[in-house]
Chain A
Amino acid sequence: MDFAKLFGVAAKQSRREFDTLVNRCHRQAYNVAYRLTGNHADAEDLTQESFLRAYRFFDRYNRDMPFENWLYRIMSRVFIDELRKKPKHKSISLDAPLSLGGSGENEVTLEIPDFTSDPALMILSETLEETLQKALLSLPDEFRVSVILADIEGLSYEEIAETMNCSLGTVRSRLHRGRKLLRQRVQIAQTKEKLNGEGLLR
């Protein structure tokens, strides 16, 4: 048996298959990476690294799982593991002391615009997008991954559990807490903005 030749053919075949997958999934993967990291340089790194590792372990990829989900699994591991080793980046203080006359999260009363009434408004303003991204970045890693997979990628709880290698209950609680935090932070940021606009805050 010509081992080397066999080797080369197999490698070429799997590279071709992988090429198709990269073409199909890279935008989606990049989107997730960008929302996870909040900037293009890190998003590119994270996406590349995830594809590379996916390729290294391609013979272990179970075709029953959508490739995207398998890739997200790798990506979330790379993201959570690598980022943890990195010195903590500046924390974004969306929740800096801002007294609104209450202690509970429900005390902040500023309303997020109701998009259902006007679909045209679904195009987010740049400021709002920035606010949302900052809120995402302020979440603990696992919450952030869960929210992005659920609300941006539209994965089911079961898929997220599979991706993050955790139980359905864990997914449920991460999403629950993650969204609560997000809502809180977005509201606070918008309140600040509003007060700023009225010259009440510097």
Chain B
Amino acid sequence: MNCRKVSHSISAYADGELPGMEHRAVHEHLKMCESCRDDYEGILETKRLFGAMPMPSPRSEFVQIVMQRIREEEVISPRHVGFWRMLEERFRLHPTMPQGAIVAASLAVFGVLLMGQKLNRPELTLLSSADEALEAAPATMVFSEQSATSFSPMRMLLSQKQYTLSAPHPPAFHWETSRNNLSGSFLQQVSLGRAN
């Protein structure tokens, strides 16, 4: 093994992540090459330094805040179970119906429904959070058809594969989010920015 090759493997060597053969080869090289040995020491020191960084503490009420936001998000779903089941059945009855039309219709109905019920929860973002969730979901999270046990309308929407179709958002959906406990932070800026 030459120095060039070793230099590329040295970090993985320090982590004990090299396959046996390669590990031994690097090991042998280090015995006789001072420059690579220096490199190796450097990697070890860097690992040690960053590993020694202290752990900052979140606010003491942090867990409470998270769970509160989760409960808030769920408040919408039980109320609309009937609606979503109706939507599902509708979907099954008319498999040939243009999907864009279904999306548009269901979004509109849902929007009207929300407005009609005066759902007074400005801290909740409906479409925009579905948006974000979808985008933030790792590629391996595939949205499947099965959905009857999902909790939120958002998930149902997603799992029916309707969300992925592009339909213009009815204006009812553009009411905005203002997260009560977060100010000036990047996530908020992003979600506000997208709705415009």
Stretch in contact with the other chain, from B24-32, B100-108, B114-122, B134-142: B134-142
Q: Which of A27-45 contact B (CB under 8 A)?
A: 27, 30-31, 34-35, 40-45
- In chain A, what residue has the closest Cβ to B42? A183
**Tier of interface size on chain A:** 35 or more
What are the interface flags for A55-83 relative to B under an 8 Å C-beta threshold, 1 for contact and 0 otherwise?
11101100000000000011001100111
Task: Name the distance in Å between A174's Cβ and chain B's nearest Cβ.
Answer: 10
Checking B11, B78, B184 against A7 with a beta-carbon cut-off of 8 angstroms, the contacting residue is B78
| B169 contacts partner chain A, Cβ-Cβ < 8 Å | no
Q: Is the CB of A30 within 8 A of B56?
A: yes
Contacting residues, chain A, for B82 (C-beta < 8 A): 3-4
A132 CA to B53 CA, complexed, in Å: 8
Q: Is the CB of B187 within 8 A of A186?
A: no
Binding site for A on B (CB under 8 A): 8, 10-12, 15, 17, 38, 42-43, 45-59, 62-63, 65-67, 69-71, 73-74, 77-78, 81-82, 85, 129, 132-133, 135-141, 149-152, 154-155, 182-190, 193
21 example contacts (A-B, Cβ-Cβ < 8 A) are as follows A4-B78, A7-B78, A11-B151, A19-B67, A26-B66, A40-B56, A44-B58, A45-B188, A47-B62, A51-B70, A56-B73, A73-B138, A112-B45, A115-B52, A124-B52, A129-B54, A133-B53, A147-B50, A175-B15, A179-B47, A183-B45
